């Protein structure tokens, strides 16, 4: 059996330190979706097809209140699901930069299994 070759299509990034994260979902991690953090913009492969340039993949940051000299950006995906999977997901990221320039990312994934017809 040959492995399937998957071609990924990423957006043109502008931040000096773009971050790429491969998320895996499901009991056997068969569903793979990319998340890209690019400054105040993020991209989430909501349909796990490897193309982050499609409509709906871009998430604009919301600036959150933060102490002077620091910044806090909030990214929220809204609910999404993958084909043939009744599970619903929501993805949240809080990106913080402190006064010394240290960066911290807090990621939360909310999972609900609503099943068909719910």
**Residues sharing a CB contact under 8 Å with residue 6, sequence separation 6 or more, in sequence order:** 50
pTM of the model: 0.79
Q: Work out the percent of the chain whose per-residue pLDDT is above 70.
A: 89
pLDDT of residue 1: 44
Residue corresponding to tokens 């699901």: 81
27, 44, 72, 97, 117 from 32: Cα distances, Å:
12, 11, 28, 28, 25
- Of residues 61 and 103, more confidence is placed in 61
61: pLDDT strictly greater than 90 = yes
Asked if residues 111 and 89 have their Cβ atoms less than 8 Å apart, the reply is: yes
Query: Averaged over 18-46, what is the pLDDT?
Result: 88
Beta bridge partners of residue 2, listed in sequence order: none
SS3 59: strand
- Of residues 15 and 2, more confidence is placed in 15
In the structure, what pLDDT confidence band is assigned to residue 3 with cuts at 50, 70 and 90? low
Smallest Cα–Cα separation from 9: which of 23, 1, 20?
20
In the structure, what pLDDT confidence band is assigned to residue 118 with cuts at 50, 70 and 90? very low
């Amino acid at each position: 059996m040959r492995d399937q070759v998957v071609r990924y299509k990423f957006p043109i990034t502008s931040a000096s330190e773009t971050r790429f994260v491969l998320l895996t979902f499901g009991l056997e991690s068969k569903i793979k979706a990319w998340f890209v953090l690019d400054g105040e913009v993020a991209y989430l492969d909501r349909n796990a097809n490897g193309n982050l340039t499609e409509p709906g993949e871009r998430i604009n940051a919301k600036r959150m209140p933060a102490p002077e000299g620091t910044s806090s950006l909030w990214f929220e995906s809204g609910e999404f699901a993958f084909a043939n999977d009744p599970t619903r997901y929501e993805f949240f990221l809080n990106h913080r930069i402190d006064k010394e320039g240290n960066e911290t990312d807090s990621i939360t994934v909310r999972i609900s299994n609503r099943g068909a017809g719910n």
